[in-house]
Homo-oligomer: A and B are copies of this chain.
Amino acid sequence: MNNPLDELKKRLAEISDLTAASAVLSWDQMTLMPSGGAAARARQLATMQRLAHEKAIDPEIGRLLEALQPLADTLPQDSDDASLIRVATRDYERESKIPPSFTAEFSEHASHTYEKWAQARSEHNFKIVEPFLAKTLDYSRQRANFYPGYEHIADPLIDAMDEGLKVSVIRPLFDELRQELIPLVQRITSLPPADDSCLKQQFSEAEQLQFGLGVAKALGYDFERGREDKSPHPFTTSFSIQDVRITTRVKENELNEALFSTIHETGHALYEQGINPELEATPLAAGTAMGIHESQSRLWENLVGRSRQFWEHFFPELQKVFPEQLGKVSLDTFYRAINKVQRSLIRTDADEVTYNLHVMIRFDLELSMLEGKLAVADLPEAWNERYRQDLGITPPDDSRGVLQDMHWYSGTIGGYFQSYTIGNVLSAQFFEAALAAHPEIPGEIAAGRFETLHQWLTKNIYQYGRELQGMEIVRRVTGKPMTIVPYIRYLKKKYGELYRL
């Protein structure tokens, strides 16, 4: 008989290997797979995911975890083994509460809904997907109800992505944030808009990709342990701590598309590549929560990649790559162009200042639906009303409104959107802490060097993987609970200067 800790690790490694295999299959599907491979790949992915789930809820894992509790109690809370037992127990308890029949049924429903959504979006007609979305709402409530004892019905869905967070924490934070953002957006958008025509010229794909790879490398992305490919929607995926890949997409007439999506995904990848290699093949070898993960993609994309210092170094290099297009553009013009603020309809195109308004609209609407206060049939009207109120514009059709994001139409309603805004809020809170510890960081960025920041983030956040819960990291690193203060300070300073407010 094996020692139960070794036996547990063996079983967890097997689950990790199945999950990694799914990730490889899925990465290939989204990057390189020929179209003929689609049907078989869907079947292969379903099989791999089913096998991983079966292994994850094997009662033997439950027995091993129970047998290991006394050991865990004697170990330091922070030790790798104590963390492993704690996190594996949490995962096991969470996973085993969902009946396998529910998972199968829901996944079939979700793929039908996704198809209907694609049709509804192309026909600008919410009605096509409405009955499916209504059923998704039922499923989402059912899923939450597998975890009774919650304060708010969205809490179990949020907890699955951002462990430890709940509506009673997020709602007041978001309300506070909205009160700051709405007047800021109003002031900026009453001024003449920034000129971003320099970004809308013709930029060859090969040169854009080459430049992006150089930036990713400079930021610290290790290409011995990763690579970049193209895909319709950019993403980061991890096959092990030593093989973390990113994708990007290129628009030849929009320079910011590939550039900032590469920096964004590089942020996610730096996190995954920075996890302590000792945690390989355990459930600890991943980012600790969606919101923390997003804080890293946004920190690198916005606080670093959209800063003036960053472009003091990189703009002359970019000008060398595109001399005809950018040779006569000033750094100032370029900097204003990549930070243009405008009221817009589409979340994924939104700038730093308006972005969170989009997210908070979705968050509020999904809570109302889960609470039973908003019927799915009334969703488009509620959506449009909120866009009028918060952003002062009205979607001309549902494709540019309630149908724009696939999230609700490919998964549950609830649990996901909050992490985008939490990520923005925390990006500033972490960055401020990094600057307090190392005031030399902005100067280094202006010289194209990122080691101090990268090392600080690795030491304080990345290395732990899932050993520390998200909000525990926030408290340890910043000495405070999550707060919007640094984020608002950052926005007001940056956009105050940019728009001379």
Task: Mark A residues whose CB is within 8 Å of B.
Answer: 13-14, 17-18, 20-21, 24-25, 28, 32-41, 43-44, 47-48, 51, 222-227, 229, 239-243, 280-281
- Which B residues are in CB contact (< 8 Å) with A239? 37, 40-41, 44
- Which B residues are in CB contact (< 8 Å) with A281? 40, 43
Can you give 24 A-B contacts (C-beta < 8 A)? A13-B47, A17-B48, A18-B47, A18-B51, A20-B44, A21-B44, A21-B48, A24-B25, A28-B28, A32-B227, A34-B227, A34-B242, A36-B224, A36-B225, A36-B242, A37-B242, A37-B243, A39-B240, A40-B240, A40-B242, A40-B280, A41-B239, A41-B240, A41-B243
Minimum distance in angstroms from A366 CB to a CB of chain B: 32
- Which B residues are in CB contact (< 8 Å) with A48? 17-18, 21
Looking across the interface, which residue of chain B has its beta carbon closest to that of A223? B34
Minimum distance in angstroms from A499 CB to a CB of chain B: 43
A51-B227 Cα distance, complex, nearest whole Å: 28
Looking across the interface, which residue of chain B has its beta carbon closest to that of A225? B36
A228-B210 Cα distance, complex, nearest whole Å: 22
A48-B47 Cα distance, complex, nearest whole Å: 12
Minimum distance in angstroms from A281 CB to a CB of chain B: 7
A243, B36: Cβ atoms under 8 Å?
yes
- Which B residues are in CB contact (< 8 Å) with A226? 34, 36
- Interface residue SS majority, chain A: helix
A21, B17: Cβ atoms under 8 Å?
no
Minimum distance in angstroms from A479 CB to a CB of chain B: 35
- Which B residues are in CB contact (< 8 Å) with A280? 40
A225-B47 Cα distance, complex, nearest whole Å: 21
B243, A47: Cβ atoms under 8 Å?
no
B225, A34: Cβ atoms under 8 Å?
yes
A37-B20 Cα distance, complex, nearest whole Å: 11
A98-B247 Cα distance, complex, nearest whole Å: 41
- Which B residues are in CB contact (< 8 Å) with A20? 40, 44
A239-B21 Cα distance, complex, nearest whole Å: 13
A24-B241 Cα distance, complex, nearest whole Å: 19
Minimum distance in angstroms from A491 CB to a CB of chain B: 37
